Amino acid sequence: MDWNTFFIKELEQLKAYQPGLRVEQVKQQAAVDEVYKLSSNESPYPPFASAIAAMQGELEGLNQYPDGASTELREALAARYGVDFNQVTVASGSNSLLMDLATSCLHPGNNVVYCWPSFVVYRMSAQLTGAEYRELPLRADGVFDLDAILAAIDADTKIVYLCSPNNPTGGAITKPEFAAFLDKLPEQVLLVIDQAYQEFATDPAALDAMDFFDDARPLVVLRTFSKMYAMAGARVGYGIAPAPVIEAVDKIRTPFNVNSVAQAGALAALGDGEELERRRADNARGRQQLLDCFARLGLKTYPSEANFVWVFLDDAQAVFDKLLTHGIIVRNFAADGGLRIGVGDAAGVAATVQTFEEMFA
């Protein structure tokens, strides 16, 4: 078998996604007992108590397939956002929806536009379909440059990706600038807004894309239960979009793509607004502690509305390696001149602050 010619040619430019280091790896390498995994933007807390109870209740029924249409969860999401049932889709993480959207409408000759650095799946989805991807610099504040995006769109542009708050910088688009952008966006372009970190935003001016969803514009809003709802291991995300987009995605999504445990947990967590608000406040406190620490040490950061902070460093690789010796795992963006540091629990934030103060005081 000649494996070099066996697979589709689009795979040649793709690179497999590289997850962060595991806790067990760092414990062995650094010989430390306490490890803080702040590299994957995960919640430092377990799922909501209501979600855990609901998921446990599903275990004895795992001999049966889940509801292939995720009916109850989609009904709850539709009610939450005031949209129709056929305008909601659920998937095994919002990243799978990104791939399904690209597969359903992109082909060679099309292009997609977004800013960089951001979520790598925007690039991967274009590469897989043979479409051109146009990566533009972020603004100086780490936010998507909407004017630059408008200037890069042409007749072959099929999708524009926006990420707000942006991963990995944390910057959020504001409502007024998004409204102005939307008025100028050509009508043939599908606008996909990735808001995986929306629940962490505390700035009243930060964009909530659902304020602009009217079923008339070609607008897709993606969110997830992996971050604020602390269900990353269950893999469940969702999208709100015009019915024709949902219909197209449904044609190519895998059958029974969201397991019954995940559906039950997400449905229960969605109704626990009090716990969500408590965790939002906890994250905001920890985020501010990190920002204050970096400011004291004279380290430049981006403003953040997410559950992580970007810090610029002259030698990001060296700092990354040093943090590992203290049992602190962060995400290394040395090629872009910085590190993305997740907001941990109180102990994780304190350990991060202490280590940086020792290193840079």
pLDDT of residue 138: 98
Q: C-alpha angle 152/148/124, rounded to 5°?
A: 65
Q: What percent of the chain has pLDDT over 70?
A: 97
| Choice between 18 and 283, residue whose per-residue pLDDT is larger | 283
Question: E strands, the chain, where?
Answer: 36-37, 88-91, 111-116, 132-137, 157-163, 190-194, 219-224, 237-240, 308-312, 328-329, 331-333, 338-342
Q: Which residues of 141-158 are buried (b: 16+ CB within 10 A; e: fewer)?
A: ebbbbbeebbebbeeebb
Q: Which residues of 262-293 are buried (b: 16+ CB within 10 A; e: fewer)?
A: bbbbbbbbbebeebbeebbebbbebbebbbeb
pLDDT average, residue stretch 342-354: 97
CATH class as words, domain 52-270 = alpha beta
Is the CB of residue 313 less than 8 Å from the CB of residue 302? no
Residue 34 has pLDDT above 90, yes or no: no
Q: How far apart are CA 74 and CA 286, in angstroms?
A: 33
pLDDT average, residue stretch 10-28: 72
Q: How far apart are CA 304 and CA 284, in angstroms?
A: 10
The pLDDT-based confidence of 40 (bands split at 50, 70, 90) is: very high
The pLDDT-based confidence of 4 (bands split at 50, 70, 90) is: confident
pLDDT of residue 31: 64
pLDDT of residue 216: 85
pLDDT of residue 18: 72
List, for residues 72-123, the tens digit of each pLDDT value. 999 999 999 999 999 999 999 999 999 999 999 999 999 999 999 999 999 9
pLDDT average, residue stretch 13-26: 71
Residue 25 has pLDDT above 70, yes or no: no
Structure tokens at 142: 């780490």
Q: Residues of CATH 3.90.1150.10 domain(s) within the chain?
A: 18-46+274-360
pLDDT average, residue stretch 281-302: 98
* Sign of the torsion angle spanned by Cα atoms 330, 334, 335, 340: positive
Characterize the bridge pairing of strands 338-342 and 308-312. antiparallel
In the β-sheet with 237-240, what is the strand arrangement from edge to edge? 88-91, 237-240, 219-224, 190-194, 157-163, 111-116, 132-137
Q: How far apart are CA 107 and CA 6, in angstroms?
A: 20
- CA nearest 37: which of 329, 331, 348, 357? 329
List, for residues 217-250, the tens digit of each pLDDT value. 999 999 999 999 999 999 999 999 999 999 999 9
Q: What is the CATH number of domain 18-46+274-360?
A: 3.90.1150.10
The pLDDT-based confidence of 151 (bands split at 50, 70, 90) is: very high
Q: How far apart are CA 192 and CA 106, in angstroms?
A: 13
The residue with tokens 């082909």 is 107
pLDDT average, residue stretch 289-304: 98
Give the contacts of 66 (CB within 8 A, at least 6 positions apart). Answer: 256, 258, 259, 260, 263
Mean pLDDT score of the chain? 94
Is the CB of residue 246 less than 8 Å from the CB of residue 28? no
The pLDDT-based confidence of 30 (bands split at 50, 70, 90) is: low
Q: Taking the CA atoms of the chain, what radius of gyration do you get in angstroms? A: 21
Residue 10 has pLDDT above 90, yes or no: no
pLDDT of residue 209: 98
Q: Residues of CATH 3.40.640.10 domain(s) within the chain?
A: 52-270
pLDDT average, residue stretch 61-82: 97
pLDDT average, residue stretch 287-310: 98
pLDDT average, residue stretch 281-285: 98
- Measure CA 176 to chain center: 23
Give the contacts of 23 (CB within 8 A, at least 6 positions apart). Answer: 35, 37, 329
Residue 23 has pLDDT above 70, yes or no: no
Residue 304 has pLDDT above 90, yes or no: yes
